[in-house]
Chain A
């Protein structure tokens, strides 16, 4: 019995963390986020691809690494901690999983091979399935798609977009097709890119198995939620570490503020809530990988619980920094905002908890 990340997983996680520390310090992140510095961003993306993060979940037969979701979860912690301005959850986790469960053999081999060569990159628009908005009206008809999908993630280097309708049917659209309008969205989190996409009679390749089964969309969303939770966990850890460091250095009343119980207890509260988050996160990823019957409940709770705890930490860690925490100077807000956006991605906590209740027949 061993509960935790393996040596290989920790090694991979540390590599990604170190890569970001070396290549994406906060001033680089700022340039990418505020000034749209495409060169820096592209260098980062190329560099991180050489570490293999795009290939984690692609089977070895298709040229991938054939690793599991716990690996992706471990990596995602580092991406959140290092504010990676890169696609991951949609492009490299949800897309291969949706294809694995939803595609026929021909589709599967084509897309996975091209993905592992980095010739195809997916952007993901699944919002219609778990939280459809009235104005969307995304509809698939005879290999054509109409309507719009709101809040598309990981558009950065996308060649294709994968969308899901409210019945769980998944289709793939090449961005070279006609009838695609891309609308830039501006969220509070400028470390990542989100779009709205409008389709007008656009060609779509429906993943064959998804017309009769929700397995693909369910698995993709469960996995996506776990990996987003990991991102928030990493971001929370970064914020807590910064708060502790700051409380040791900052002096008032001739003492380090970290020696005051009021400050100490804030940090202890953050740590006390954060530690079980690692546990539920890894447990959820493991349940997913081993196909346990409670895997959906675990994924839902990992996402919604970590959304709540990371929200608390993003507030409290900022407060420990006093006025400086509120400034742009320190840049804490990048993590704060990333946590804020992660909280809503693939479903807000209330929506997800209701899914957890339903999936245990309550």
Chain B
């Protein structure tokens, strides 16, 4: 066991800390399109979001291992540095880099499987926040069984003509582009009939309808395609290879849904809240029942955080086997976060139910929002039940469910 990262990283940590001090008070002058993944302090330094992205790339704090010819920093991939950056940014509450599905999922996919032309065209503006992407995977009848999707693409006169419907499309209303799974080979088997297409969102025939979720935000959309026509070469990989291409990005998504740094920050906010809040003249933190529940959650959070350290270690030490430890992160992380947020509501009692701009609201109502939002994440990106199938079948080697016979 060795939890030291060495002198090189000590120096790097100091550099990042200094950077965070310098940019503690950013005020973005352009309006927020894609929500940022964390909260941050606002202040005097005025700039656009795109400017901020560029500063972060220049320092190597963002897009670190993406080659400079595509607009990245062009450094070696360094998991420890990435972790230090994430930790220090979270601690000091300066704005994190813009994330979103283009940056988190499409860029890695293009780097791995895109053509040179696609890399040149899309990666740089995506990193700078100039092209925002949405993901067109799920359909009303293709959720957990994603490969059964039916949105159709036909190649007519050198163009793809797309008809069908997508759902759960986050940020569709702000996006310039969509990466989309479309059935292009109707005669091939389920998984072999899908292609991965890149669709400009201003193409005629696309209709976006907001889908209001339980937090009352329109976080998702439904997207309808009627004879949407795009060039033949807007495809990543070959025809019928879309499933493999998509799986390359799904693995990027699952890792990002349960961030242990955010979890620890949230736990600390919960402790602060319990120290401030009183019930019958006594601080909540002194109530033995609430104390015990808090400590129970803290134990779980520490176990989860330690587990993510173990998973990180296996990335650095190739002989370490943490197969199951890695597989469980989405399931455990989202369920635990939901529990934590829900407990914060309980310690406030009636006050915990306040929402929007209600008088007496605590912490901007963030506990209720996150409580519901994380229920969404328990379901999204592969439900907890799908995760349990994956853990038991791929991790524990348990037998697969027998296939239902056709016509049964």
B303: chain A residues at CB < 8 Å are 276-277, 279-280, 301, 305
Q: In the assembly, what is the distance between CA of A247 and CA of B392, in Å?
A: 11
9 nearest A-B pairs in the assembled complex, by CB-CB distance: A3-B313, A279-B306, A268-B388, A353-B295, A276-B303, A305-B299, A280-B303, A264-B392, A279-B307
How many contacting A-B pairs (Cβ < 8 A)?
161
Interface residues of B in 304-323 (CB under 8 A from A): 304, 306-307, 309-310, 312-314, 316-317, 320
Taking CB atoms and an 8 Å cut-off, the chain B residues in 177-224 that contact chain A are: none
Q: A259-B400, A265-B388, A301-B302 are in contact. Are A276 and B1 (CB under 8 A)?
A: no
Interface range, A side: 35 or more
Query: Does A70 interact with chain B (Cβ within 8 Å)?
Result: yes
A277 proximity list for chain B (CB < 8 A): 303
Besides A283-B306, A304-B295, 17 new A-B residue pairs in contact (Cβ under 8 A), listed by A number: A1-B2, A1-B312, A2-B320, A3-B310, A4-B1, A244-B398, A248-B398, A255-B399, A255-B402, A256-B399, A261-B401, A265-B389, A268-B387, A275-B307, A275-B324, A280-B302, A305-B296
Q: How far is the CB of A1 from chain B (nearest CB, A)?
A: 5
Encoded as 1 (CB less than 8 Å from any B CB) or 0, chain A from 282 to 317 comes to 110110010000000110010011001000000000
Given contacts A268-B396, A275-B324, A362-B291, whether A2 and B401 have CB atoms under 8 Å apart is no
Question: Which of A2, A256, A258, A261 gathers most chain B CB within 10 Å?
Answer: A2
Expressed in whole angstroms, the minimum distance between the Cβ of A279 and any Cβ of chain B is 4
Given A301-B303, A357-B295, also A2-B399 (CB < 8 A): no
Could you tell me the distance in whole angstroms from the C-beta of A76 to the nearest C-beta in chain B? 16
- A286-B389 in contact (CB<8A): no
For A2, what are the chain B residues with a Cβ–Cβ distance below 8 Å?
1-2, 313, 316-317, 320
Give 16 pairs: A residue, B residue, CB < 8 Å, sorted on A.
A2-B2, A3-B309, A4-B314, A5-B1, A259-B399, A264-B392, A268-B391, A268-B396, A272-B391, A276-B303, A276-B307, A280-B307, A283-B306, A304-B299, A353-B292, A362-B285
Give the chain B neighbours of A286 by CB distance below 8 A: 1, 3
Are B296 and A308 closer than 8 Å at their CB atoms? yes
Residues from chain A with a CB closer than 8 A to the CB of B320 are 2, 4
- Interface set of A (CB-CB < 8 Å, partner B): 1-6, 70, 244, 247-248, 255-256, 258-261, 263-265, 267-269, 271-273, 275-280, 282-283, 285-286, 289, 297-298, 301, 304-305, 308, 350, 353-354, 356-357, 362
Pair B295/A275 contact, Cβ less than 8 Å = no
Residues A354 and B310 in contact, CB atoms below 8 Å apart: no
